[in-house]
């Protein structure tokens, strides 16, 4: 059990250079299996899942050189021998995105039934199975494994998703590149990290139309050339540091190469009385002395923050706004339209003295403005919930402990170091 000890109460100030988005880096790494050409990736974060994929590529026979100090990862899959086999990493959800590349390269992939990930409720793999079958794969179960087999190229296909799933969309796009002819996906996810996967694939030589929209077309049979690609700043991390400024009454500027993704995020900060300014590649939040929920013009309605697939507020960012909700004077309803297990952690906030009410598995009310006290809380295995609990602790004068905080390392390589540079007294413990 890894814990974080936080001595809070300081106003945080400074500038932060964020890491790349885990949700962009992992599918890009999986998609590299399609190519035998040399690939150079830059701004690669040193996070747990990248380490696992790096090890998997080594087992497979790829030539991989990871310079962690320079944040570069050089990949050459042309050295994978015929008939290579390796066990997919089972401790991460991204393993399922290895399957299209492995089917194209080796004709077979095996995945354990229980693929791990954040504890956000049921996360079925049936939509992925439908994608693989649509592109000609046979899917069977053998003991504890799901086995995928495929021979040759399948014709392009058209698929209409029941739900705009990020990883299902990514698996469809990667699979479509291995097919013949044109494939189209309707109700595609369009999150920034899906757009970044498409940008990387286009840099390799793929032809993709409609990225960033709900209807994406992919031309199969592309030949892939060498690529040198730098990952963008993680908008989750940018928003998180801005929220840390808001909750501690501080002033933080965060490098942000994609401010165009922040219009709705900025409006959500404004609901708590916090204003974000974007200028010269940086985003800054200079917090007011006291966060206050701004009343709706329709005065009888509660202020809401609704999380759903992009272009809504991302469900991954909802916890940081819940942290603002327990700090700001006023009442807010938070609505997680994605995960049925995404709000159960609210009981930990009561250990800080916060007043919350879970209406149902998807909706939570916060009644902010109460005096909060230091406490010891336990994070579920959800990255930004651990960060939200840390945010609240950082805003309270005194010593708090966040138990089971290790998920933070899955997405943010130097998070604690950045916090210390901003003025947080924080350290890892056991």
**Whole-structure pTM over 0.85, yes or no?**
yes
The residues, ordered by sequence, that sit 6+ positions from 223 with a Cβ below 8 Å of its Cβ are 205
Helices 166-177 and 192-204, axial angle in degrees (round to 10): 10
- Start-end ranges of CATH 3.65.10.10 in the chain? 3-17+233-429, 24-223
The tokens for 133 are 């079958």
Mean pLDDT throughout 417-429? 93
pLDDT band at 188 (very low <50, low <70, confident <90, very high): very high
Under a CB-based contact definition with an 8 Å cutoff, are residues 376 and 114 in contact?
A: no
The angle subtended at Cα 17 by Cα 16 and Cα 21, nearest 5°, is 120
Residue among 420, 421, 423, 374 nearest 401 (CA) = 374
Q: Give me the pLDDT at residue 158, please.
A: 98
The angle subtended at Cα 319 by Cα 313 and Cα 320, nearest 5°, is 85
Residue among 314, 316, 30 nearest 191 (CA) = 314
Largest interatomic CA distance in the chain: 67
Please state, in angstroms and rounded to a whole number, the distance separating the CA atoms of residues 393 and 231. Answer: 31
Would you list the DSSP string of 81-113? PTT---PPPSSSGGGGGGHHHHHHHHSEEEEES
Q: Give me the pLDDT at residue 178, please.
A: 95
The tokens for 311 are 């272009």
- 326-376 pLDDT, tens digit per residue, is 999 999 999 999 988 889 999 999 999 999 999 999 999 999 998 999 999
The tokens for 122 are 């049921």
Q: Give me the pLDDT at residue 253, please.
A: 98
Please state, in angstroms and rounded to a whole number, the distance separating the CA atoms of residues 151 and 418. Answer: 48
- 108-162 pLDDT, tens digit per residue, is 998 876 554 444 444 578 999 999 999 999 999 988 889 999 988 899 999 999 9
Q: Give me the pLDDT at residue 117, please.
A: 45
Q: Give me the pLDDT at residue 94, please.
A: 83
- 287-297 pLDDT, tens digit per residue, is 999 999 999 99
- 55-88 pLDDT, tens digit per residue, is 999 999 999 999 999 999 999 999 999 889 878 8
Residue among 305, 395, 287, 290 nearest 342 (CA) = 305
pLDDT(93) > 70 = yes
- Multiple choice CATH, 24-223, 3.40.50.410, 3.65.10.10, 3.40.50.1370, 3.30.565.10: 3.65.10.10
CATH number of 3-17+233-429: 3.65.10.10
In the DSSP assignment, the letter for residue 32 is: G
């Amino acid at each position: 059990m890894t814990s974080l000890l936080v001595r809070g109460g300081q106003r945080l100030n400074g500038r932060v250079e964020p890491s790349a988005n885990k949700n962009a880096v992992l599918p890009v790494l999986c998609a590299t299996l399609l190519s035998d050409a040399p690939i150079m990736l830059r701004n690669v974060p040193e996070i747990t899942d990248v380490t696992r994929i790096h090890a998997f590529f080594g087992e497979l026979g790829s030539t991989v050189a990871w310079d962690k100090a320079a944040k570069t990862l050089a990949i050459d899959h042309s050295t994978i021998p015929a008939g290579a086999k390796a066990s997919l990493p089972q401790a991460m959800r991204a393993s399922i995105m290895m399957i299209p590349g492995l089917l194209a390269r080796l004709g077979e992939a095996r995945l354990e039934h229980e693929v791990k990930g954040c504890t956000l409720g049921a996360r079925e793999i049936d939509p992925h199975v439908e994608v693989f079958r649509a592109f000609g794969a046979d899917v069977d179960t053998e003991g504890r494994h799901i086995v995928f087999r495929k021979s040759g190229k399948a014709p392009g296909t058209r698929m209409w998703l029941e739900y705009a799933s990020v990883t299902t969309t990514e698996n469809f796009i990667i699979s479509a590149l291995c097919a013949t002819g044109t494939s189209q996906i309707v109700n595609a996810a369009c999150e920034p990290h899906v757009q970044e996967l498409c940008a990387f694939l286009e840099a390799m030589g793929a032809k993709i139309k409609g990225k960033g929209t709900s209807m994406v077309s992919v031309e199969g049979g592309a030949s892939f050339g060498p690529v040198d690609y730098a990952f963008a700043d993680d908008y989750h991390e940018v928003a998180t540091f801005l929220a840390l400024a808001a909750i501690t009454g501080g002033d933080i500027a965060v490098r942000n190469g994609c401010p165009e993704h922040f219009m709705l995020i900025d409006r959500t900060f404004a609901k708590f009385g916090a204003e974000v300014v974007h200028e010269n590649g940086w985003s800054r939040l200079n917090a007011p002395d006291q966060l206050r929920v701004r009343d709706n013009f329709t005065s009888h309605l509660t202020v809401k923050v609704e999380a759903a697939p992009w272009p809504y507020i991302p469900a991954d960012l909802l916890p940081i706004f819940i942290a603002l909700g327990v700090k700001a004077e006023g009442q807010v309803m938070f609505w997680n339209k994605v995960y049925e297990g995404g709000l159960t952690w609210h009981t930990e906030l009561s250990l800080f003295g916060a007043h919350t009410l879970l209406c149902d598995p998807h909706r939570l009310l916060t009644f902010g403005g109460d005096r909060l006290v230091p406490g010891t809380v336990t994070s579920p295995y959800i990255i930004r919930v651990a960060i939200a609990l840390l945010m609240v602790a950082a805003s309270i004068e005194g010593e708090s402990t966040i138990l089971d905080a290790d998920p933070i390392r899955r997405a943010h390589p130097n998070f604690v170091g950045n916090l210390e540079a901003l003025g947080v007294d924080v350290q890892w413990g056991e």
